[in-house]
Structure 1
């Protein structure tokens, strides 16, 4: 019962954040732990005062743009990764066609606060013929990244929070058994410190992910949640894939099991981090650490 309650609370928190998605257009000061080596000599990091733009990949031009960007960063020299990008794009197409592309955003549009008729999307999706089950951010991000991920950490994962994810993975035969096991390890609950300080808790997650080798040309950007309903744990509540594009970065995410895919163009990394922090700004509990953002296993704020 506690597990179900926590899942509902997480989903509610994400929905609340998604209805208030705003981001500062001017980059903020970088956290000292940010990937400084990735920002060096990177002209896209110096672009300021540009507005982010969003698409659901619901027309040919935006769909092709995202597919090419993901291929260039993840699948260029890796046949398995390219196949996974193709599968991801097939899942996007399947979702978009089933809910009606006219109900979604085709061309990239400025702003991060789209208004979706969620009830209509859910009803239309439910009654449509579809090739894939409803999936969430973790399933999609891992599908895109897994061919470029390596795990070195042994041990049994704590997959208490993943029962809904695992049901959909099996239903859609999205991963084979070996990949499913590494999925459990990556998104395992991690024992938290007795602290409400994000920097303290981030050290716990950084230590956990020190056993992973992340993609070289893409970033897994995640929001870490601290919960104490059934012990004191950290887990990834939201995640997406960030890749470089001309003039900035592209962040690809699935909002939730029943809500759309989103691709967002950001002028720099910090704008993406700010977007995610803002998305979860109301997901607070006075007894726990507030949500914080990580990029490829490193704390960024």
Structure 2
């Protein structure tokens, strides 16, 4: 999301789906700060066709470090904060959200209300696996925990949250290793994400959830050791439905 034309297209879609002016304003501010620190012509303009579902930002260079670091979870929550409810009982033993919470607490650009912070932590908390060993058992454990946390996402406006749960055998847990917001725009699906803390904000068009799933699973950074089970992709609080 670099050139004005593509940004305007995305913003119009956000407005159409009732994303508030404040949310859009904050997204634009984050975009402006990040893009302004990228050197030269490292960022492409407009929508481009991907090669084998792969996007490569390894050669991205910066003039200076962005003023504040925004990751995928902070970006997604900004866009869905008004359609999410939880029981507001976060698991404070979760170590995977330490970076996020530090940034929220210490940077005014990322600050949240107490209610939003509780919803944020509860939504993205890790999922302890206990005795779950198989992929199906992992899925059941995630579904059970999300239900226990009373997580509700109002998808009536065509907006849903896509969470990619990765496996940590060391911690015996699943955690949200990547996330983005999916908007059903009628003729196509629009997926909005922050590709990584040091990678751009990105909007991608898909014809189906199958295409989205293939794209997400093509990321090499989602895979670790041989003892890890494969990533699990959820749409809201259910495994993403594909054909």
Query: So what's the TM-score if we normalise by structure 1?
Result: 0.71
**Alignment partner, residue 33 of structure 2:** 94
The ranges of structure 1 where at least 4 consecutive aligned residues each deviate by more than 6 angstroms after the TM superposition are none
More relative contact order, 1 or 2 (CA 8 Å, 6+ apart): 1
Tell me which protein shows more helix as a share of its residues.
Answer: 1
Matches of 2:102 and 2:89, distance apart in 1: 24
Q: Point out where structure 2 has 5 or more consecutive residues left out of the alignment.
A: none
What secondary structure does 1:254 align onto? strand
User: Would the aligned equivalents of 2:89 and 2:118 in 1 still touch at CA under 8 Å?
Assistant: no
Matches of 2:121 and 2:212, distance apart in 1: 26
**How far did 1:285 drift?**
3.0
**Deviations 1:169-220, CA, capped at 9 Å, x for gaps:** 2233222333122211111122114344222101111112221111322111
Matches of 2:199 and 2:12, distance apart in 1: 23
Matches of 2:224 and 2:131, distance apart in 1: 16
**Deviations 1:10-58, CA, capped at 9 Å, x for gaps:** xxxxxxxxxxxxxxxxxxxxxxxxxxxxxxxxxxxxxxxxxxxxxxx11
Closer, same or farther: CA 176–247 of 1 in aligned 2, 3 Å: same
Matches of 1:290 and 1:226, distance apart in 2: 7
- 1:166-177 counterparts in 2 under 5 A? 166-173=101-108, 174=110, 175-177=112-114
What secondary structure does 1:135 align onto? coil
**Aligned-CA RMSD value:** 2.2
Closer, same or farther: CA 227–242 of 1 in aligned 2, 3 Å: same
Matches of 1:289 and 1:95, distance apart in 2: 34
Corresponding position: 1:109 with 2:48: yes
**Alignment partner, residue 234 of structure 2:** 294
Q: What is the aligned residue count?
A: 233
Closer, same or farther: CA 92–282 of 1 in aligned 2, 3 Å: closer
Matches of 2:197 and 2:7, distance apart in 1: 20
**How far did 1:253 drift?**
0.8
**Alignment partner, residue 153 of structure 2:** 214
**Alignment partner, residue 97 of structure 2:** 162
Corresponding position: 1:71 with 2:15: yes
Q: Point out where structure 1 has 5 or more consecutive residues left out of the alignment.
A: 1-56, 76-80
